[in-house]
Amino acid sequence: MTIPTSSPWSAGARAEPSPLASPLARPLSIPVVLGTTRKGRMSAHAARFVADRIRLRDGIATDVIDISRLPLPVDDAGEGVRSPEYGEAMLRADAIVIVAPEYNHSFPGLLKHVLDSCLKEYIHKAAGIVAVSAGSFGGTRVIQSLLPVLRELGLVTIFWDVNIGNVGRVFDDAGLLVDDAFVRRTDKFLDELVWMARTLRTGRETIPLT
C-alpha cells in the first residue's frame, strides 16, 4: 500500500524531530515526603526504606523531605507558609511519594498544612502513598482520606499503594526492614509511579491542553 504524501502519517509530515524524545533525557526527580512530626515516628523508617529503593533505579534523583524540618508557621496557611526548600523540591519533582501515618483514621494535620503550601508545583505530577499504621488495617483509611486532597491539588494518583500495617513488626528498632515482602510490594508501587512520572512529564512538556 502506498501512503499518500499528504497523509499526516507520511514521512514528509514527520520531518520534525519527535517532541517526545527530549522530556525523558533529563533525570526524574521523585522526593519522598515524610508526613509526620511526631516523636518516635515509625514512618521515618518507611520513608528511608522507600528512598533507598528509589536510589537503586538509574536516572532518578530522590531525597527524603522531613516535614518536621520545615518551618511550619501556623499564623497563616496555603502559599503564605510555603518554605522555599519545599517549594523548590516540588517544582523539580516529577512525582512524589507521601509517607503518611494514620492518625485517628486520617492524615496528620501538619502534613495537610505542608501540602497546601504549594499548588502550581503539583499540577499533572504523579503521587503515590505509603501508608503506615500500628494496627492491622495498614493505613487504608489515611489513603482514602488523602486521595481527594491530592486530586484537588492537581496531583495524579496511582493505583498502587504500600500499606504498612503493624509497623512495629515490619521494621526493627534500628529501622531495618524485617519483612522482605515489602521489597517486592514497594518495587511494584515504584514501577507504576515511575511510569506515571515519565508519562506525565512528556504530557506536561509536549502535549497542549487543547
Which residues of this chain interact with other proteins, rule CB under 8 A?
Answer: 19, 22-23, 26, 91-92, 119-121, 123-124, 154, 201, 203-210
Q: For 70, which DSSP code?
A: S
* 45 CB-near residues (< 8 Å, 6+ apart): 167, 170, 171, 175, 176, 177
Q: How far is the CB of 26 from other proteins (least distance, A)?
A: 6
The nearer residue to other proteins, 23 or 145, going by C-beta atoms, is: 23
> In which element (H, E) is residue 61 found?
strand 60-61
CB half-sphere exposure, 94, CA atoms < 13 A = 25
Kindly state the cell numbers that stand for 105.
483514621
Q: How far is the CB of 8 from other proteins (least distance, A)?
A: 17
Whichever of 97 and 118 has its CB closer to other proteins, that residue is: 118
When the beta carbons of 46 and 118 are compared against other proteins, the nearer one is: 118
Q: Report the nearest approach of other proteins to the CB of residue 91 (Å).
A: 6
The minimum distance between CB 108 and other proteins, in angstroms, equals 24
Which one, 77 or 123, has the nearer CB to other proteins?
A: 123
What distance in Å separates the CA atoms of residue 8 and residue 13, rounded to the nearest whole number?
6
